[in-house]
Amino acid sequence: MKLEALCAWEIGELVNTKKISPVDVIKYFLDRIEKHNKKINAFVYTKPEYALEKARELEERLNRGEYCGEFAGVPFGLKDFLPDKKGWSNSHGGVKCLVAIDDCDSVFCTAMEKAGGIAIGKTNAPAYGFRGATDNYMYGPTSTPFNTKYNSGGSSGGSAAAVAAGLVPIAEGGDAGGSIRMPAGFCNLFGFKAGVGTIPSVCRPDAWSATHPLCFNGGLTKSVKDAAILLNYMNYEDRRDPYSLPKTHDFIKEYSIPVQNLKIAFTEDFGIFEIEDEVRTIIRKAAERFTELGCTVEEYKFNFKHTANELSEQWCKGITIDCALDLNHQKALGNDLLKNHREDFPEEFIYWKEIVDSMGIEDMYKFNLARTDVLDQFENAFEKYDLIISPVSCVASILNRNDRNTKGPEFINGKKLDSLIGWSQTFLANFTGNPAASIPAGFSKDNVPVGMQLIAPRYKDALILQAANLYEQKFDWKKFYPEL
């Protein structure tokens, strides 16, 4: 039985019905990691003893006749970025001087364990999650398993590559500008970013620190059903998060409710992004699948006041604020990490930190004006349409570099752009908090997957899942995963 070809929920069913033991499942995937991880560099470390111990505990529960959850015995990867598994270590995305012991579990980790899953290791990410590619000075680049010359996308690229390569069926993502959706796009996965308030985000000492832009915990999955099950466990109210909403949905039931006659606003570029012709062609063909399913897809013209470069610049400033504050507070305590360990940090991060350090109130005003522009443009579209469709990325692929500092392109069609995230169309939804997802659209000439983005009105998370489920019935992307 090729377990790597199955979704997480399918493995959970096999374990709950005792058709396969959780110990055998864990051994199977540990063996696959041992054989194949070097080819793509998805995992930075694994915990075999821990995972096997948890599998044996789960087996005892099964022998007592217990039902152990939809993801019973399913191994999962955790993102090596922020603390997400108490007692394990994280490197903040491959920053050597920031390596620390996790002091808490993430919402994803807690949800997966409640559903019966077993943590198996940590996956690669870029420094501070601050780019749309996965590479860092400690661990190097992560490749998409479809063509290992090319990057897996970021910042949850290690998790995406691990799932696409069949090293685990499901893995953690975090999305502050597209860090779930971009790697999902480059790895032929379903990458769902929840809307603001659906999944709690408890931050301290500043409870609002994950809101400029809005940041989200989540996962990378092969199927919409896996994402719906995961979301059902991650969706609850926590009043320590000022935006957390009461739980009012059962996403496991709602994701498969048929949706008909959806009106979809289609854009190649939001009127502001440069985009490769190959991506245009693939996304247009993918959007047509919705018309074959009874939906109306119409070209929609956005009218942004800001250019793509102006918006990506504001995103870079916003995402750097809390990182800069953390380093400045450390310095005030006598630990000047940038002075003593400058070589651990990418120069791009240092550049934006220096800009943020000099910001004033007018700069914050400009940041909020940019967010307001995106909010107004989205709401104008949602007055007439149920969903917005766009590309995830403006480029079909990103070639891995050999300097451990892979970035996106600096130019598209001869036009200069920010190489960290300016080639992605995903960060707009992080300014506003709209639910959004990446669904597989097709493949480039280099056999790298291309993702199509769905954006829904705020609080319409279920609609994203329903539309994606409808699309998945037409285009079953799961049959395209590579043999390693």
Residues 198-226 pLDDT 10s? 999 999 999 999 998 999 999 999 999 99
What are the residues whose beta carbons fall under 8 Å from the beta carbon of 430, sequence distance 6 or more?
Answer: 175, 176, 177, 178, 193, 213, 214, 215, 216, 315
Number of domains in the chain: 1
* Percent of the chain whose predicted confidence (pLDDT) is above 90: 99
**Distance of alpha carbon 475 from the chain centroid:** 21
Beta bridge partners of 264: 297, 387
Instruction: Please spell the DSSP secondary structure of 311-359, one letter per residue.
Output: HHHHHHHHHHHHHHHHHHHHHHTT--HHHHSGGGS-HHHHHHHHHHHT-
For residue 320, pLDDT over 90 is answered with: yes
> For the residues 79-85, what does the mean pLDDT come to?
96
Positive or negative torsion for Cα 105, 108, 111, 116: negative
Q: Is residue 14 part of a domain?
A: yes
Residues 105-159 pLDDT 10s? 999 999 999 999 999 999 999 999 999 999 999 999 999 999 999 999 999 999 9
Distance separating alpha carbons of residues 28 and 120, to the nearest angstrom: 12
What does residue 163 show for φ and ψ, rounded to 5 degrees? -70, -45
Q: Is residue 329 part of a domain?
A: no
Cα Rg for the chain, rounded, in angstroms? Answer: 21
Domain assignment of residue 204, given as a range: 3-306+367-480
H helical segments located in 333-427: 337-340, 347-357, 361-382
Residues 24-41 pLDDT 10s? 999 999 999 999 999 999
Average pLDDT, the chain: 97
Q: b/e per residue, 298-318, with b = 16+ CB within 10 A?
A: eebebebebebbbbbbbbbbb
Distance separating alpha carbons of residues 88 and 168, to the nearest angstrom: 19
pLDDT at 260: 85
Distance separating alpha carbons of residues 142 and 140, to the nearest angstrom: 7
Residues 49-62 pLDDT 10s? 999 999 999 999 99
Q: Is residue 355 part of a domain?
A: no
* Percent of the chain whose predicted confidence (pLDDT) is above 70: 100
Q: Is residue 119 part of a domain?
A: yes
pLDDT band, very low/low/confident/very high, at 1 (cuts 50, 70, 90): confident
First to last CA, the chain: 16
Q: Is residue 332 part of a domain?
A: no
Q: Considering only CA atoms, which of 138, 137, 182 is closest in space to residue 159?
A: 182
Positive or negative torsion for Cα 37, 38, 39, 40: positive
Q: Is residue 405 part of a domain?
A: yes
Q: Is residue 395 part of a domain?
A: yes
Residues 256-289 pLDDT 10s? 999 989 999 999 999 999 999 999 999 999 999 9
pLDDT at 484: 85
Q: Is residue 350 part of a domain?
A: no
For residue 479, pLDDT over 80 is answered with: yes
Q: What is the CATH number of the domain that holds 440?
A: 3.90.1300.10
For residue 21, pLDDT over 80 is answered with: yes
pLDDT at 445: 98
Residues 102-114 pLDDT 10s? 999 999 999 999 9
